[in-house]
Structure 1
Amino acid sequence: MLRHLVTLALLLCCILPQASRADDQAIWRFAETPPSQSFEQIERAPAELWQTLPETGIANLGFTRNTLWLRTDYTPAEAGKQILELLNPQHDRVVLYILRDDAPPEIRYGGFKQPPARKALSSYHNQIFEFDLEPGQSATLFLNVDTVRPVLVWPRLYSVSEFFRTSSSERIWLGIYCGLFITLCLYSLMAWATTRDSNYIDYFYFLSLMGLLQTQMLGLWHELFLQNAPFMMDLLSTVLPTLALATLCRFARNFLNLADQSPALHTLVTRCIWASLLPLPVYAIGGSEASIPLLDVVSVLFSGLTIAAGIHVLRNGYRPARYYLLAQIPLVGGGLLYVGGNFGILAPSPLTMFGFQLGAGLGAVMIALALAGKLRALQKDQLQANHDRLVAEQQLIEVLKESEARLEWRVQERTRQLEEALDLQRQQHDTLESTNRRLKVLHEERGAFLQIAAHDLKNPTAAIISYSDLLRERWGAWDEEKKLRRIGNIRSMAQLTFDIIRNLLDIDAIESGHYVLRPAPLNVSQILRSVCDDYRERCDAKDLRLQLTLCSDNLMLRIDRTALLQILDNLISNAIKYSPHGRNIHVSLEEESGHALFQIRDEGPGISEEEQGKLFRKFTRLSARPTGGEHSTGLGLSIVKYMTEASGGQVGCISRLGEGATFFVSLPRGQTA
């Protein structure tokens, strides 16, 4: 369809030549005079006043307050009815004076502002005058044109046959021209219904107003509708171009997408839309004489502004702007020719008279092409955008997959770390609970420790004080034997106190980790014999028989001396404590599988299985009681266990109730040298 439109647009170039073809051989002269100049004065005017029309046959005074007079001596090639046509229908008043020989002049009136009663104008879009000439008869024609619009006059003389031949051809081209605008209007509506692109609605408004304007400028409105409505013809000559300019600015603003491409230009062009309506109030005040020149100036300025806006956004990379600029070339170019002719800047020619009509037709077609080009460009950009979006989405999917895998790995890693942290926390919790339990036990043992220390130290200390007081009071009354016995009692109580304090200090050092063993090679046979000798006096006091059995007199061990003495002393003293009077205590040392085995067996009450499980704990008190009233802190066996294990050995007990108890200690011999 667009190819057909282009073909129709190119054919518009033929309209102007068709409109001006005639076999007019008349030579026209013109003169510019004040409006007050009468026909009689013009008729008698000197020859110097008159100027020959240019070769184009067009007179152009532009905007002027004077009137134009044209004259010619006309002898037709064909007698009969003659037609004078003015190819510009936009004249207010036109008067034709016809002089035949010496007869009075005949007068014909034209122009759309002439009173209807005086008009002798046929129904036609241009100004035409009819008159008759006899064969061989000549006539002098005077034509007076008075208008507030540009004085642009193109007179043509025809015979009737010539006129109808030219008129028929011209009407065909006018029909094609008007049909072009109608077709483009329908095309824009269908395109809008298909694409819903608001540019097509703007284009429709512009086409409609531009088509109405062109038909009004070509005289079709005067011919078809407004023959007896000069006011409406005058009003429409301002209203239609004003509205057409406003819609052109609106179309340019929206087509070039100035709101996004250049907000400053968008604001400026929007103001131009409203400013283009300025000729309307000017018309209301000063009429067409003021509004039409202003409209020409405003049209040039605002059209130039839309061209500048198109160049600006095109330089910024907005490709549809190139279609807009190409479409504006014929429209703006034809408008400049028309305005230049109106102001007398350009020499009169068919282009200055009808260039705007030709440019409007070509521009309308080019704008349709521009819209189609923009639509194709936008569709291409949209397809490219869709492709880019799909590529971006695919890339995003890949990134998401990679991120998901990385996230899953991080979740697994975090889960593992969390599990490790939870395990560590559980371990710490268990450790804290164990520590708390241990601290609680230590706290309880500390309390028991203080209670035992206070209790166990109170009796011997009190006994020492009592014996000391008695000794001091009765020192002179007692004999030497009794004094020595009391001193012995004091020493025994002091030794008991020392033993209690030593055990308490040892257990405290053990628990605090400050107890250090210093192993050295020792003859344990001699040490065991020495310890037994030290306890024989105590055994004799309870009528006990201490029996020692040694596998060798020189059995060597590498062990801390203090630790060994602590072990032997506690075990032998316990056997003495719990053995009834008159019984035996068996102490033996044997070598067995690289170990030294110490055994201390008594014939006391024995130990139950239940109490055997608590033997080596601190502060343990058994149900059995010492047979001689001896003191017990409950720490001796726990010290034995620590010293034995710290020396790499083992300690244990074998006992049954009523059958005594056997304690054994197994110590590794190790390197004795």
Structure 2
Amino acid sequence: MKKNTLKKNTSLFYNEERILEEIIINSSGKEIPLVKDYARLLKQTKLLVKISDKQQYQLTELAEKIKIKNQNLIELDREKNDFLGIVAHDLKNPLNAIQGSAAFIKEALEELSQKEILELIDMIEQASRQMFFLVSNLLDVNAIESGKMNLVITTIDLLPILQNLLIHYKARLKAKQISLKLHLSESKYLVLADQNILYQILDNLISNAIKYSPLNKKIDIYLGKELKIVRCEIKDEGQGLSELDQNMLFNKFTRLTAKPTANEHSTGLGLFIVKKLVEMMQGEVWCESKLGDGCKFTVTFPISS
């Protein structure tokens, strides 16, 4: 059997001085580097290693992936801080209202009239509803982002859903003296959608139109059909939106410069959820607005033939 032989005075890596000085050639002809001084090798800080183009590409690609991951972590940390701040603020206020109203009823029950008690109960109910909406929105966001939002797509007539919503909002419209008109060109508007999600989308858009409309204004809702879609337009005469607000409109935890006109509550999540849900049903939603000239929200759904 052929023994290993020693090839003298051969270097694999170079720096200011030679580190690997000898190579063993085994019986199969394979060269095996022999390190004579490990300590000296580890101390070298300027060791030059030849790498292939493929290895260079892989290193560059890995560095880019690490950079993207780092940016994602920074964004997640920012969202976490936004989330904690908004939840703390939006839960603290209604909880204070509930606690204060309940404590006042308990302390002054014998002195309060029935009307005053009912007013305090209304405050508790409103604060509870506010917290319920916030928690519901947070659960929706979690379901959407984790891919756990299950849709049941069927053929639905959009018109009865919209008409039921308008009945639901009669009291709010009356309280703000807002007139609402529904403009129709057909008797049916069949779409492919999830019924509950469709209701939630239209509910949010109509609620926003009322919320941001001043007293004595009007809201117009137009339904129309095109070749492959049903279009719903909701136009109000509110404050309108700046370009900055429009750019942030469908973002998560958005706080706009435009404010509700009767101290109504906003979680900053509604339109983010609307956009995600519309897109999940293969539709589109967008807003057209000028500051001081109201808003027009348009949402489309796939038509059911």
Q: Is the 8 A contact 1:651 1:663 kept in 2?
A: yes
Query: Residue in 2 aligned with 1:634?
Result: 268
Query: Residue in 1 aligned with 2:243?
Result: 609
The alpha-carbon distance between structure 1 residues 424 and 527, as it changes in their structure 2 partners (threshold 3 A), is farther
Answering whether residue 163 of structure 2 is matched by residue 536 of structure 1, we say no
The alpha-carbon distance between structure 1 residues 566 and 423, as it changes in their structure 2 partners (threshold 3 A), is farther
CA separation in 2, counterparts of 1:426 and 1:571? 46
Q: Is the 8 A contact 1:566 1:639 kept in 2?
A: no
Query: Residue in 2 aligned with 1:584?
Result: 218
Deviation of the 1:620 alpha carbon? 1.4
Answering whether residue 55 of structure 2 is matched by residue 430 of structure 1, we say no
CA separation in 1, counterparts of 2:239 and 2:52? 59
CA separation in 1, counterparts of 2:58 and 2:304? 40
Query: Residue in 1 aligned with 2:37?
Result: none
Answering whether residue 147 of structure 2 is matched by residue 499 of structure 1, we say no
Deviation of the 1:520 alpha carbon? 2.4
The alpha-carbon distance between structure 1 residues 464 and 422, as it changes in their structure 2 partners (threshold 3 A), is same
Specify the SS of the correspondent of 2:300.
strand
Query: Residue in 1 aligned with 2:206?
Result: 572
CA separation in 2, counterparts of 1:439 and 1:562? 34
1:134-283 to 2 correspondence within 5 Å?
none
CA separation in 1, counterparts of 2:262 and 2:74? 35
CA separation in 2, counterparts of 1:551 and 1:474? 57
Q: Is the 8 A contact 1:526 1:553 kept in 2?
A: no
Query: Residue in 2 aligned with 1:14?
Result: none
Query: Residue in 2 aligned with 1:644?
Result: 278
Q: TM-score, normalised by structure 2?
A: 0.77
Specify the SS of the correspondent of 2:261.
coil
**Cα root mean square deviation, aligned:** 2.2
Query: Residue in 1 aligned with 2:106?
Result: 472
Q: Is the 8 A contact 1:525 1:552 kept in 2?
A: no
Specify the SS of the correspondent of 2:155.
strand
Q: What do the CA deviations read for 1:111-156 (whole angstroms, capped 9, x no partner)?
A: xxxxxxxxxxxxxxxxxxxxxxxxxxxxxxxxxxxxxxxxxxxxxx
Specify the SS of the correspondent of 1:507.
helix
Deviation of the 1:467 alpha carbon? 1.9
Answering whether residue 302 of structure 2 is matched by residue 668 of structure 1, we say yes
The alpha-carbon distance between structure 1 residues 441 and 484, as it changes in their structure 2 partners (threshold 3 A), is same
The alpha-carbon distance between structure 1 residues 421 and 513, as it changes in their structure 2 partners (threshold 3 A), is farther
The alpha-carbon distance between structure 1 residues 420 and 601, as it changes in their structure 2 partners (threshold 3 A), is farther
Q: Is the 8 A contact 1:525 1:550 kept in 2?
A: no
Deviation of the 1:425 alpha carbon? 4.3
Match of 1:597 among 228, 231, 237: 231
Query: Residue in 2 aligned with 1:460?
Result: 94
CA separation in 1, counterparts of 2:183 and 2:110? 48
CA separation in 1, counterparts of 2:67 and 2:195? 38
CA separation in 1, counterparts of 2:201 and 2:260? 19
Deviation of the 1:560 alpha carbon? 1.6
The alpha-carbon distance between structure 1 residues 473 and 670, as it changes in their structure 2 partners (threshold 3 A), is same
The alpha-carbon distance between structure 1 residues 465 and 622, as it changes in their structure 2 partners (threshold 3 A), is same
Pair member with larger Rg? 1
Deviation of the 1:606 alpha carbon? 0.8
Specify the SS of the correspondent of 1:613.
helix
Match of 1:442 among 76, 79, 85: 76
CA separation in 2, counterparts of 1:589 and 1:422? 58
Q: What do the CA deviations read for 1:401-456 (whole angstroms, capped 9, x no partner)?
A: xxxxxxxxxxxxxx9x9545544544443333223222211211111011100101
The alpha-carbon distance between structure 1 residues 650 and 456, as it changes in their structure 2 partners (threshold 3 A), is same
Q: Is the 8 A contact 1:596 1:668 kept in 2?
A: yes
Q: Is the 8 A contact 2:192 2:301 kept in 1?
A: no
The alpha-carbon distance between structure 1 residues 596 and 457, as it changes in their structure 2 partners (threshold 3 A), is same
Q: What do the CA deviations read for 1:614-669 (whole angstroms, capped 9, x no partner)?
A: 11111111111111111222111111111111110111111111111101111112
Q: What do the CA deviations read for 1:206-225 (whole angstroms, capped 9, x no partner)?
A: xxxxxxxxxxxxxxxxxxxx
Query: Residue in 2 aligned with 1:509?
Result: 143
Specify the SS of the correspondent of 1:463.
helix
Match of 2:195 among 530, 536, 561: 561
Instruction: Give the aligned residue type for 2:173.
Output: C
Higher relative contact order (CA closer than 8 Å, sequence separation 6+): 2
Deviation of the 1:537 alpha carbon? 1.2
Q: Where do 5+ consecutive residues of structure 2 fail to align?
A: 1-49
Q: Is the 8 A contact 2:184 2:223 kept in 1?
A: yes
Query: Residue in 1 aligned with 2:32?
Result: none
CA separation in 2, counterparts of 1:420 and 1:543? 70
CA separation in 2, counterparts of 1:534 and 1:421? 64
Specify the SS of the correspondent of 2:122.
helix
CA separation in 2, counterparts of 1:536 and 1:438? 44
How many residue pairs were aligned?
256
Query: Residue in 1 aligned with 2:183?
Result: 549
The alpha-carbon distance between structure 1 residues 468 and 664, as it changes in their structure 2 partners (threshold 3 A), is same
Q: Is the 8 A contact 1:595 1:666 kept in 2?
A: yes
CA separation in 2, counterparts of 1:564 and 1:427? 43
Specify the SS of the correspondent of 1:586.
strand
Q: Is the 8 A contact 1:536 1:546 kept in 2?
A: no
The alpha-carbon distance between structure 1 residues 476 and 522, as it changes in their structure 2 partners (threshold 3 A), is farther
Answering whether residue 254 of structure 2 is matched by residue 620 of structure 1, we say yes
The alpha-carbon distance between structure 1 residues 478 and 583, as it changes in their structure 2 partners (threshold 3 A), is same
Q: TM-score, normalised by structure 1?
A: 0.36
